[in-house]
Amino acid sequence: MLNEKQTRHLTLPQWKTLIKHVDEQKKAEQQLKASEESFRTLAETVPQLVWTTHPDGLHEYTNQHWRDYTGPMSEQIQRWDHLQFIHPDDRAGNQALWQHALDTGTMYEHEERLRNGQNGEYRWFLTRAMPMRDDTGQIVKWFGTSTDIEDQKRTEESLRQSQERIRALIDSNIIGITSIEMEGEVLADANEAFLRMTGYTREEVQSRTLSRMNIVPPEQAPLFERSIQELTARGQHTPFETELVCQDGSRLPVLVGGVIFQEQPRQMVAFMLDNSARKELEQRKDDFISMASHELKTPLTAVKLQIQLVRKRLEKQSQPEAATTLARVEDPVKQLERLVTELLDVSRIQAGSIEYRRERVDLDELLREVTATIHHLHPSHTILFRESVRASLIGDRDRLGQVFTNLISNAIKYSPDAEAVEIDLSPSEDAVTVHVRDHGLGIPREQLDKIFERFYRVTDLRQGAIPGLGMGLYIVAEIVKHHGGTITVDSTVGKGSTFTVTLPLMRDA
């Protein structure tokens, strides 16, 4: 600016130039003020922590969000050391990158944890700063923001941990894992456990020549087709036991489960557990049961015949008390004989050698005979038999009698405090349905799917004293299945159970 002495000697044109220069300077100052006010209005509106520094990095401004997060600030903001708010582990990275930005005039960016001045806790922020330059290209200040990315970091950490668990599972030597393209059912990838189990090589998998057609036995195809249908409908399928064809042509028993992994292109991940040890153990058990039951059958039959002969002799010799005592021995012998017979049936079912006759069966007559026999053995219970129409079918009369004898006997056995068992027979156009209903102990819902498994018994303290080996319902289910029928159960603990058998009418078994 000119001083008073200098202005005295100005000419009129010089005065006009001076006034114009002053006006332009005032306008520039007003525009700068308006710009700064707009900037501060914007800075106070955005959700980020906003700050500015001088060209040398000394802070000159922070918005309210920054002050709310970091806590009360002194008026000497230019002297403020921002490092006090940064996590100790992140300070070195902050200093190095910030100094590099100041030296080169390039953008600053760093993920760092900032301390909350209210509670002392740290949260992750993404901090960025850009240099602001004048018309000559000189840096006049730095404009910076800090964006809260704590939720993103937590998500990333959860994803990382999840990926580590998945990788640990994939790299494990316990479970075979394959990635399968649904279209064409081609193996796209497999872990080392699968390759070791089956003998296939990494090259064979990468060549994409392995598919379900190669590694699944033809007779197992329906199982896989049903699992694919379930997979499409639910995104996963119920695990099931099957076999895989290995590279050398041998077969490997496995337990298979699968889930949809991605939609486009649709891929599934299959999990396979080597089931050969369990199958071998089951085979040994079956062999032992078969051998033991056959070895017991002959001497048991001899004991039974001897008891009957001795009892008849005692009756002829007018020794009724001795005969009665001996008769009591027959009941446990009969029970043992029934158990041995069930063991033999189980071993025959497993071997596929159980024999069935084909004959016309009057189901109404059969049920009446069975109920009469059981009622004679258990006079304490009333067996209510209701029929709508007489029904006949083709099957093995003795085996079907075995089914209903077991169901009605169980209904009585598991209803110690109830006096009635109900039997309903109701035919439809192509099938006949028999309901056997009791009002006894009932079966826990979580065990209903297991009661038809071999050697499975309901685990309930109230039923612990009831004898049995868990073979009866397994045999019943197999006989019903052989006749083309189904068996289901509906039960409520404390109220009783209803077993429903549905058999096709006049159908060859």
CATH fold, domain 359-504, is: Heat Shock Protein 90 (3.30.565)
- pLDDT bin (cut points 50, 70, 90) of residue 483 is very high
Stretch among 135-139, 194-198, 340-344, 357-361 having the lowest mean pLDDT: 340-344
Place of tokens 């308006």: 34
Q: Is the dihedral of CA 227, 228, 232, 233 positive or negative?
A: negative
pLDDT at residue number 74: 42
Question: Of 71 and 421, which is predicted with more confidence?
Answer: 421
pLDDT for 509: 43
Residue 508: pLDDT over 50: no
Query: Is the pLDDT reported for residue 190 higher than 70?
Result: yes
CATH code assigned to 4-149: 3.30.450.20
Cα separation of 78 and 141, whole Å?
13
Q: Contact 501/410 with Cβ under 8 angstroms?
A: no
What distance in Å separates the CA atoms of residue 302 and residue 413, rounded to the nearest whole number? 29
Measured between alpha carbons, how far is 232 from 313 in angstroms, rounded to an integer? 71
pLDDT value of residue 79? 47
The structure tokens 């598991």 sit at: 414
pLDDT band at 313 (very low <50, low <70, confident <90, very high): confident
Give the separation between CA 146 and CA 331, rounded to whole angstroms.
87
Give 478-481's long-range contacts (Cβ < 8 A, gap of 24+). Answer: 478/349, 478/354, 479/396, 479/399, 479/400, 479/402, 479/403, 480/403
CA-based nearest residue to 87, from 110, 53, 60: 110
Per-residue confidence (pLDDT) for residue 150, from 0 to 100 = 93
Measured N-to-C along each axis, helices 363-377 and 397-413 cross at an angle, to the nearest 10 degrees, of 40
Q: Residue 430: is its pLDDT beyond 80?
A: yes
At residue 339's C-alpha, the angle toward residues 336 and 340, to 5°, is 90
Q: What is the DSSP letter of 358?
A: -
Residue-averaged pLDDT of the chain: 81
What's the residue count for the chain? 509
Return the DSSP state at 493.
Answer: T
Residue partners of 504: CB distance under 8 A and separation at least 6 = 393, 430, 431, 483, 484, 485
**Four-point Cα dihedral 359, 404, 290, 293, nearest 10:** -110
Cis peptide before 416 (omega within 30 of 0): no
CA atoms within 13 A on the CB side of 146: 25
Neighbours of 272 (CB within 10 A): 24
Q: What percent of the chain has pLDDT over 70?
A: 77
pLDDT at 351 over 80: no
Give per-residue pLDDT as tens, 59-109.
Answer: 888 888 888 898 765 444 444 567 888 999 999 999 999 999 999 999 999
Tokens for 402, please give them.
Answer: 């075995």
Over range 360-388, report the average pLDDT: 86
pLDDT tens per residue, range 126-147: 999 999 888 888 998 899 999 9
Euclidean distance between CA atoms 479 and 16, whole angstroms: 118
Crossing angle of helices 276-316 and 320-351, in 10° steps, is 160
**Cα–Cα distance between 265 and 267 in angstroms, integer?**
6
Q: Exposed/middle/buried for 242, CB within 10 Å: 0-12, 13-18, 19+?
A: buried
* Residue 76 pLDDT: 46
Q: Which CATH architecture has domain 171-274?
A: 2-Layer Sandwich (3.30)
- pLDDT band at residue 267, thresholds of 50, 70 and 90? confident
Tell me the one-letter amino acid at 7.
T
At 438 the pLDDT is 93
Query: For a pLDDT cut of 90, what percent of the chain falls above it?
Result: 25
**Least confident interval from 50-54, 301-305, 497-501:** 301-305
Residue 51 pLDDT > 80: yes
Residue 300: band (very low, low, confident or very high) from pLDDT cuts 50, 70, 90: low
Which amino acid is located at 180 in the chain? I
Rounded average pLDDT over 345-356: 73
Cα–Cα distance measured from residue 379 to residue 360, given in angstroms and rounded to the nearest whole number: 31
